[in-house]
Structure 1
Amino acid sequence: MIKAKKYNWKDSNLALFGSDVEKQVKKDAAKTELAWKDAGKKPGLQIWRIVKFKVVAWPRDDYGKFYNGDSYIILKTYKKKDSDELHYDLHFWIGADSTQDEYGTAAYKTVELDQLLDDKPVQHREVMDHESDMFKTYFPTITKMEGGADTGFRHVKPRDYKPRLLQFKGSRRLVSLRERPLSKHSLDGGDVFILDNGLDIYQWNGDGSNKDERMRAMQYLQQLKSERGRARSETIDQRRCAPEHPFMKALSDAKPEEEDQTDAKEDTSKPAMFRLRHEANKLTFSQVAEGDLPKAKLDNNFVFVVDTKKELYVWIGRGANKMERQNAMAYAHNYLRTTGHPFIPIACINEAREPDAFWKVLV
């Protein structure tokens, strides 16, 4: 598949039912989805990547590593205190350069796995660089790499590595790792960077970087060295890194392309609540509240979309019909494309299985 240059929200319609994507996915699913064989059987984390309409298990050694050209499905299985019942949070993660075929398949397969687990999971949509706090807690570090997994460095000999510039940004458990263009313009004095050149590895500490970024970068550097055996490393501070240092000489003077901010605009909207209703063979999506989000507006005969501007909840009432349930996530996703906050996380929850965070946003 040809990768889109940048994630284009105008093309990111998840209402793919009846499309060629759905037909291909159903055809493969008809053969029985072997990837779900052990899904959700015991507490823990499981990750799959979408490869040409198929679900492929992601290696455990690579958990927390994501490529911006791919889409993934992540299942968190757990038990609550004093209970043996299994509970689930089910996420699909969309890379910034993932194709519509890939993230459409991820969304469809997420619903399929949800149904396999008797509709017990809370479904979540995660967009690269806008992940929910819950998602971030699953990994000590989230590593975001350029390209797709098939172009990765997992099995390449150290001497054959192409240089990579890695940025460490965040604090405490939420330090993220992101590959950046090999350019001096990528450097930010508030963060830490590692130049990975196979057998020569440099850690560059920005003057304004914090101890968590420095510590996580150092741990990553030591891990690289242990994997490669004879690799050499050096840690340098921004103020002491001269222009002739090998770290700086490896970086281009060219300014990289600006990251795509498609449809970026000032967000002046207020929190809002909407109802999705199927009646007389027609689906209607209408606003029922703005500003305050009253729980009294919820009606268990329908689906409601609750937009806090930081996270969006899709609440599915017990009495919601099949059409409302099947189209809930697509309507939520497409609604967000019209707002000034299209990338926020989405959580799809069933009545009586709401997380505490949901009730806290209602009045």
Structure 2
Amino acid sequence: MDTPDGGVASAFRAPRPGAGPVRKLYQVKGRRNIRASERDVAWGSFNTGDCFILDLGQTLFVWCGARSNVLERGRAQELAAAIRDGERGGKAGLEIVVDGEEPPEMLQVLGPKPTLQEGSPEEDAVADQRNAGAAVLYKVSDATGRMDLSPVATSSPFSQSLLCPDDCFVLDHSAGGKVYVWKGRKANEQERQAALRVAEEAIARMGHPPHTQVEILPQGRETPLFKQFFSNWK
């Protein structure tokens, strides 16, 4: 599968050309180890204990559940602002939405709001533990005589210093439906070409769902969702 740098595709299907407008939903959950994960764009993905970012391209809505904690609210706003500034050139609108005060633009996309699943503070503590182990960082290596993945770190947040410009890395966040392929600017051509293939083979070998997405990130073009797995990204 040929996926351009900075592009996203299913692990097993090439992206469709001429994709429609941006329409994504991210759940922001946790307390000490907060993570954002992409969810289906539907009210069924929401609950009252977390924050959600509805990304419609020209506008990002940060929806805060009635029982969400202040750290989730702050992190959701930071992430939405980073998407606006880093991916939309600072030109997208950003609106904070209180549970129960949804604007017509949200309802037009999501439909009438049903009774949502209740959230609880106890879930955030469980999410912190789950989030720490939900991502694994691998290095693309030929140490075994063939290109494969070698584990580098198994608990996030990772140190940014682990990403050596001479190499390519794979960040597996299959729990969130995504695998990132990071290409160092000084990595040799063999590694750069092999990185995507090795990631796809690993996805199949690990039994990840077929809808798992692979995102290619050249060094210097990292997205906010990728950076969230690293401490003190600079």
Q: TM-score, normalised by structure 2?
A: 0.44
Structure with more relative contact order (C-alpha pairs < 8 Å, separation 6 or more) = 2
